[in-house]
A = this chain, B = another copy of it.
Amino acid sequence: MFQQRLTETSGLARACLHDAIRNDGVLAEAMRYATAGGKGLRGFLVMESARLHGVSDQRSVRPAAAIEAVHAYSLVHDDLPCMDDDDLRRGLPTVHRKWDEATAVLVGDALQTLAFELLTHDAVGDARVELIATLARAAGQAGMVHGQALDIAAETAPIPLNIDEIIALQAGKTGALIRWSAEAGALMASADPAPMRDYATAMGLAFQIADDILDVEGNAQTVGKAVGKDADAGKATFVSLLGLNAAKTRAAELVEQACDALAPYGQDAETLREAARFVIQRDR
Task: List which A143-163 residues lie within 8 A (CB) of chain B.
Answer: 145-146, 148-150, 152-153
Whether B153 pairs with A22 at a CB distance below 8 angstroms is no
| A60 neighbours in B (Cβ, 8 Å) | none
Given the known inter-chain contacts A23-B142, A27-B146, A105-B80, please indicate yes or no for A132 contacting B120, CB distance below 8 A: yes
Q: Is A112 an interface residue (CB 8 A)?
A: yes
In the assembled complex, the Cα of A148 lies from the Cα of B103 at a distance in Å of 10
Task: Report A60 CB to chain B, min CB distance, Å.
Answer: 18
Q: Would A141 and B110 be within 8 Å (CB), given that A26-B153, A77-B105 are in contact?
A: yes
Q: Which of A1-60 contact B (CB under 8 A)?
A: 21-23, 25-28, 31
| Complex contact A132–B116 (CB within 8 A) | yes
Residue pair A136, B153 in contact (C-beta under 8 Å): no
Choose from B82, B103, B112, B117 the contact partner of A133 (Cβ within 8 Å). Answer: B117
A281 to chain B, nearest CB (A): 32
A46 → chain B, closest Cβ, in Å?
A: 18
Tell me, in angstroms, the Cα distance from A64 to B87 when the chains sit together.
39
**A106 close to B (CB within 8 Å):** yes
Say yes or no: is A204 at the interface (Cβ < 8 Å to chain B): no
Cβ-defined contact, A113 with B152, below 8 A: no
Q: Judging by beta carbons under 8 Å apart, are A136 and B109 in contact? A: no
Least distance between A249 CB and chain B CB atoms (Å) = 33
A27-B149 in contact given A109-B112, A110-B140 (Cβ < 8 Å): yes
Q: Does A108 contact B (CB under 8 A)?
A: yes
Taking CB atoms, residues of chain B closer than 8 Å to A233 are none
Cβ distance A129 to chain B, nearest Cβ, rounded Å? 5
Which A residues are within 8 Å of any B CB, using their own CB? 21-23, 25-28, 31, 73, 77, 80, 82-83, 100-103, 105-106, 108-110, 112-114, 116-117, 119-120, 128-130, 132-133, 136-137, 139-142, 145-146, 148-150, 152-153
- Ordered by A's residue number, 16 sampled pairs between the chains whose C-beta atoms are within 8 Å are A23-B141, A26-B153, A27-B141, A27-B146, A77-B109, A80-B101, A82-B105, A103-B149, A103-B152, A106-B145, A106-B148, A106-B152, A109-B112, A110-B145, A117-B132, A120-B136
